[in-house]
Protein backbone atom coordinates (compact mmCIF):
# COMPACT_ATOMS: atom_id res chain seq x y z
CA UNK A 1 0.00 0.00 0.00
CA UNK A 2 1.41 3.46 -0.88
CA UNK A 3 2.29 5.81 1.96
CA UNK A 4 0.72 9.22 2.46
CA UNK A 5 2.87 12.30 1.81
CA UNK A 6 3.38 12.77 5.57
CA UNK A 7 4.36 9.09 6.03
CA UNK A 8 6.81 9.29 3.09
CA UNK A 9 8.42 12.45 4.45
CA UNK A 10 8.67 11.05 7.98
CA UNK A 11 10.20 7.78 6.74
CA UNK A 12 12.71 9.63 4.56
CA UNK A 13 13.65 11.78 7.57
CA UNK A 14 14.75 8.66 9.48
CA UNK A 15 18.50 7.86 9.33
CA UNK A 16 18.51 5.17 6.64
CA UNK A 17 21.48 4.60 4.37
CA UNK A 18 20.13 5.48 0.93
CA UNK A 19 20.87 4.11 -2.50
CA UNK A 20 21.57 7.11 -4.75
CA UNK A 21 21.01 6.60 -8.47
CA UNK A 22 22.00 8.98 -11.24
CA UNK A 23 22.05 8.60 -15.01
CA UNK A 24 25.38 7.62 -16.54
CA UNK A 25 26.40 8.06 -20.17
CA UNK A 26 28.36 5.89 -22.56
CA UNK A 27 26.02 2.93 -22.67
CA UNK A 28 26.39 2.22 -18.96
CA UNK A 29 23.59 1.70 -16.51
CA UNK A 30 22.89 4.36 -13.90
CA UNK A 31 25.41 4.82 -11.11
CA UNK A 32 23.85 3.39 -7.95
CA UNK A 33 25.78 3.83 -4.68
CA UNK A 34 25.03 3.90 -0.93
CA UNK A 35 25.10 7.35 0.69
CA UNK A 36 24.41 9.18 3.91
CA UNK A 37 21.87 11.95 3.43
CA UNK A 38 20.01 14.60 5.40
CA UNK A 39 16.32 15.43 5.13
CA UNK A 40 13.66 17.23 7.16
CA UNK A 41 9.97 16.80 6.22
CA UNK A 42 8.94 19.40 3.67
CA UNK A 43 12.54 20.35 2.89
CA UNK A 44 15.22 19.34 0.44
CA UNK A 45 17.35 16.21 0.45
CA UNK A 46 21.09 16.83 0.99
CA UNK A 47 23.86 14.50 -0.15
CA UNK A 48 27.55 15.27 0.40
CA UNK A 49 30.31 13.89 -1.79
CA UNK A 50 33.77 14.77 -3.07
CA UNK A 51 33.71 17.41 -5.84
CA UNK A 52 35.82 15.35 -8.23
CA UNK A 53 34.05 12.02 -7.71
CA UNK A 54 32.24 10.23 -10.52
CA UNK A 55 29.04 10.63 -8.51
CA UNK A 56 29.46 14.43 -8.39
CA UNK A 57 30.29 14.62 -12.09
CA UNK A 58 27.21 12.61 -13.03
CA UNK A 59 24.91 14.59 -10.73
CA UNK A 60 26.16 17.84 -12.26
CA UNK A 61 25.66 16.50 -15.80
CA UNK A 62 22.17 15.09 -15.12
CA UNK A 63 20.95 17.95 -12.94
CA UNK A 64 18.96 15.45 -10.86
CA UNK A 65 19.22 12.22 -8.92
CA UNK A 66 17.07 9.78 -6.99
CA UNK A 67 17.29 8.11 -3.60
CA UNK A 68 15.84 4.84 -2.34
CA UNK A 69 15.51 4.12 1.37
CA UNK A 70 14.06 0.91 2.73
CA UNK A 71 13.31 -1.12 5.81
CA UNK A 72 12.84 -4.87 5.77
CA UNK A 73 11.61 -5.51 9.33
CA UNK A 74 9.11 -5.59 10.99
CA UNK A 75 7.36 -4.88 7.68
CA UNK A 76 8.83 -4.09 4.30
CA UNK A 77 8.66 -0.36 3.63
CA UNK A 78 10.40 1.81 1.06
CA UNK A 79 10.40 5.35 -0.25
CA UNK A 80 12.01 6.65 -3.40
CA UNK A 81 12.35 10.32 -4.14
CA UNK A 82 13.60 11.93 -7.33
CA UNK A 83 14.00 15.49 -8.41
CA UNK A 84 16.17 18.31 -9.66
CA UNK A 85 19.33 19.55 -8.00
CA UNK A 86 18.61 23.01 -6.63
CA UNK A 87 22.11 23.79 -5.38
CA UNK A 88 25.63 22.43 -5.17
CA UNK A 89 27.09 24.21 -2.15
CA UNK A 90 30.34 23.94 -0.22
CA UNK A 91 29.94 21.79 2.89
CA UNK A 92 30.14 23.58 6.23
CA UNK A 93 31.56 22.06 9.40
CA UNK A 94 28.10 22.35 10.96
CA UNK A 95 26.53 20.32 8.10
CA UNK A 96 29.31 17.73 8.28
CA UNK A 97 28.83 17.39 12.03
CA UNK A 98 25.01 17.10 11.68
CA UNK A 99 25.09 14.36 9.05
CA UNK A 100 27.79 12.49 10.96
CA UNK A 101 25.68 12.63 14.14
CA UNK A 102 22.77 11.24 12.16
CA UNK A 103 24.69 8.04 11.35
CA UNK A 104 27.41 7.51 13.97
CA UNK A 105 27.18 7.08 17.74
CA UNK A 106 27.75 10.34 19.64
CA UNK A 107 31.13 9.19 20.96
CA UNK A 108 32.47 8.77 17.41
CA UNK A 109 31.27 12.05 15.87
CA UNK A 110 34.21 14.24 16.94
CA UNK A 111 36.77 11.69 15.74
CA UNK A 112 35.11 11.36 12.33
CA UNK A 113 34.67 15.12 11.84
CA UNK A 114 38.29 15.76 12.88
CA UNK A 115 39.47 13.23 10.30
CA UNK A 116 37.33 14.67 7.45
CA UNK A 117 37.68 18.38 8.29
CA UNK A 118 41.10 18.94 6.61
CA UNK A 119 39.52 17.96 3.26
CA UNK A 120 36.17 19.71 3.73
CA UNK A 121 36.93 22.11 0.85
CA UNK A 122 36.81 19.07 -1.47
CA UNK A 123 33.22 18.27 -0.49
CA UNK A 124 30.04 19.48 -2.13
CA UNK A 125 26.48 19.33 -0.79
CA UNK A 126 23.97 18.52 -3.55
CA UNK A 127 20.45 19.62 -2.63
CA UNK A 128 17.48 17.92 -4.28
CA UNK A 129 13.92 19.24 -4.39
CA UNK A 130 11.58 16.23 -4.10
CA UNK A 131 9.50 16.09 -7.27
CA UNK A 132 8.46 12.46 -7.71
CA UNK A 133 7.77 9.96 -4.93
CA UNK A 134 7.16 6.21 -4.93
CA UNK A 135 6.47 4.24 -1.75
CA UNK A 136 5.01 1.10 -0.25
CA UNK A 137 4.38 -0.46 3.11
CA UNK A 138 3.79 -4.21 2.95
CA UNK A 139 2.62 -5.87 6.14
CA UNK A 140 3.97 -9.37 6.72
Convert the pLDDT of each residue in 46-67 to its tens digit.
Answer: 999 999 999 999 999 999 999 9
**Contact (Cβ atoms closer than 8 angstroms) between residue 136 and residue 1:** yes
**Hey, is 17 helix, strand or coil?**
coil
**Hey, is 35 helix, strand or coil?**
strand
**Contact (Cβ atoms closer than 8 angstroms) between residue 55 and residue 33:** yes
Report how far residue 133's alpha carbon sits from residue 53's, in angstroms, rounded to the nearest whole number. 27
Report how far residue 39's alpha carbon sits from residue 49's, in angstroms, rounded to the nearest whole number. 16
pTM: 0.92
Please give the torsion angle defined by the CA atoms of residues 48, 20, 84 and 80, in that order, rounded to the nearest 10 degrees.
-130
pLDDT in tens, the chain (140 residues): 889 999 999 999 999 999 999 999 888 899 999 999 999 999 999 999 999 999 999 999 999 999 999 998 888 899 999 999 999 999 999 999 999 999 999 999 999 999 999 999 999 999 999 999 999 998 75
Amino acid sequence: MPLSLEERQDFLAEPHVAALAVTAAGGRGPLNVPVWYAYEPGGEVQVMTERGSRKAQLIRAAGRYSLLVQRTEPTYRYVTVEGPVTAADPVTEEELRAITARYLPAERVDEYVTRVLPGIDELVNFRLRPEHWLSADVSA
